[in-house]
Structure 1
Amino acid sequence: MKKAYLNTDGGSRGNPGVAGFGFDLVNEHGERIVSGGWFLPKATNNVAEYSALIWGLENALAAGVTSVEVRADSELMVKQMLGQYKVKSDDLKPLHMRAKELFSRFESARIAHVYRSENKNADALANETMDARGPVGDYLVPWEDAPASLFDLEAPARAGGENLPEQTGSQHVMMEGSAMEHNPAYTGPGRLSGETYEHAGGHYELTVKDHFDSAHALPGYDGPCRFLHGHTWDIEATLAGQHLDEVGMLYDFKTIKRDLHAILENFDHRLINEVAPFDVINPTAEHLARVIFYELEKTLPAPISLKEVAVWESPLARVAYRP
C-alpha cells in the first residue's frame, strides 16, 4: 500500500472572481511526490476548494497512491465530505459527487480539517497560480475543465492549448480593413501617441486583498452579536505613492500580500477576543481595521504610504480606516 498525504486549498479574489486552487502531495516521510496550482477566470471560494480536492485526488491516483489522507482548511468542504453538512449549493453538488467517487477508488481514504497555518504549501500554490493567471507546478494530470455553466466561465483555456477552437481569419483585435490596422499614417481617434507621460504629477494606488476565518463576541452590544459568533473576514489594504522603481512598479504585490497575510495569520481560526490588543478592547470591525492598518504600515518603506485598510465583515458590510 502506497500511502500519501494530500494538502489542498482554493481561493477566490472577489467570491466569485479570479480564482485558483492548489494541492501538495507528499509521502510518509514528508517528501514531495507532486504538486500544482490551476487558475480559474471566475469561481467562488467553495468551488475552488472542491476543485483543489478533486484535482489533488486525480494526481494522487496517477502517482500510484492507494491510501490517502487529505488535509484541507475549508471546514465546510470537509464536513460535507464527512456527511456532517448537507450540500445545498447547485454549484457544489456535482463537485461533491465527483470527489466522493474519487475517494472510492482508493483502498483507504480519509479527510480532516486543518488550520490555515498547517496548509501553507497548498495555499501558496493557489495564490501563485492566481498571480500567474495560469497553471504552476509539476502536476501529473492537468485539470479537466468542468462545464462552463458550473463556473460561469467564458471559453476557459487549457494548459498547452489543448481543446481550443481552431482560429480562423484575422487574429487582430480590430476588424480586418479597419482604419487603424497596420496603418502608421492614421492619426485619428484611438491612435496612441507614443508618449510615456512620465512625471506627470499624478499618484498611484495599489490594493491587495486577503481573508481569514475567526470568531468574536462584542460584550456590551445590545443584540445577538454580544454572543460568540464567526465571520469570514475580507481585508483590503491600499498603498499610495508617486514614484515608481527602476522596474516601473510602485511596490511589489508579492511583498505586500506576504506582509498582510502574516498579520492576518494572528487571527485566523482564532477567537479574536483572546488575541492582543483585543483582549482589552472590543474586536469590532472598526478596531480591527485600525489595528491592522498600523501593523501593516510598519512594514512599508518610505516614501510608500498606506492609504486605507478596509474590513468586510460580510459581503454587504464594509468599514475602512484612514489616518
Structure 2
Amino acid sequence: MCNNLNTQKHRKEPEVLPTRPEFHRVERRLEITVLHSSSQRHKQGVLLKTAISSVYFGQIHTNACILFDEGAHNSFITEALARELEVKRTGTDTIQLAAFGDKKDWILHLKTATINLISDRKECIPINVLIVPTIATPISTRLQHTAALLPYISKLKLAHPVTARENFRISLLIGADHYWDIIEDEVIRGKGPTAVKSKIGYVLSGPVGADEKKSNHVLNVITSRANKASSLERSLFLENLVIIPPTDVSEKLDNLNTYQQTSIDYSVNQYTASLPWENDHEPLPFQLLRS
C-alpha cells in the first residue's frame, strides 16, 4: 500500500458530471394566512315626532313639514316657508347657539313672526317663530312606511301620513314654547314606536323594529414580509453561490472505459477492481519524509 501511495497518482472515485452548471438552490415560501369573517345584524331606526299640517298667514295657506322638539326653547320657521307665506316681521330676538363639538357660542339676531296652525277641528293655533335659513337636513321617510303597517298603528289617523316622498324636509320646528298647545294626553304603546295624540293626528316617535338586514363580510390576507436580516442573508447567499463549470462528457467516458478495461479483472466468479486514480495530478509527497 505504501508503494501505491508513492506513485504520482491520486486516488479518486469515478464520477460523471452534468453538462449544465449546478446551482445550490434554496426555496423560500411566502407564508400567507387568509381570515374570513361574516356577520349579520338587524338595522333598527328611530322615528322622530314629525307631522304635515296646514299653516297660514293672512290669506295664504300651505302645508308645512313639522318637527316637534320639546328640547328646543323656541319655535323656528325656514326662510323658504316664510317667503311662501309672505309673513310680516314682528320684531327681532337674540339667541345663543352652540353646535356639537363647537367650543364657541354664537350669538344670533333673528327676525320674529307669528303664523297660524290649523288643527283637525279647524282650530287656529298661533305659533311665534324665529326665521332661520334652515332647520335640519332632510329625514328619510322609510321608517314611516314601516311603522304605518304595525297592527296597533295601522288604524290611527297619523299626523304624518304615508306619502310617496322619500325625504322629509323640515320647514317648521315647534319647540317647548308651543309643544303642549298641540300635543294631548293620550298615549298608545306597542312593539314599536309610541303614538301620542295631538290636535293634528297621532305623532309617532321611538325605535322601529328591524326592517333591514345588513351583512358585513371581511376578508383579511396576512403575508410575511422580509425583514432586513433576511435580506442580508439573501445577499450573502448570492455572493457565496457556487457555480460548477460544465465538463466534457466524452473525456469522462474515455476515462471510465479505460478504467474498466485495465483495472477490473474477473476470476473465480468474482470481480477484482484496482483503486481509481486521477490523471494529470501533481506528484504526492514522499510518505517516508513525512513519517
Q: Which has the higher helix share?
A: 1
TM range, smaller chain: under 0.3
Q: Which has the higher strand share?
A: 2
Q: Which has the higher contact order (CA 8 A, sep 6+)?
A: 2
Point out the structure with max Rg over C-alpha. Answer: 2
TM-score when normalising by structure 1? 0.19
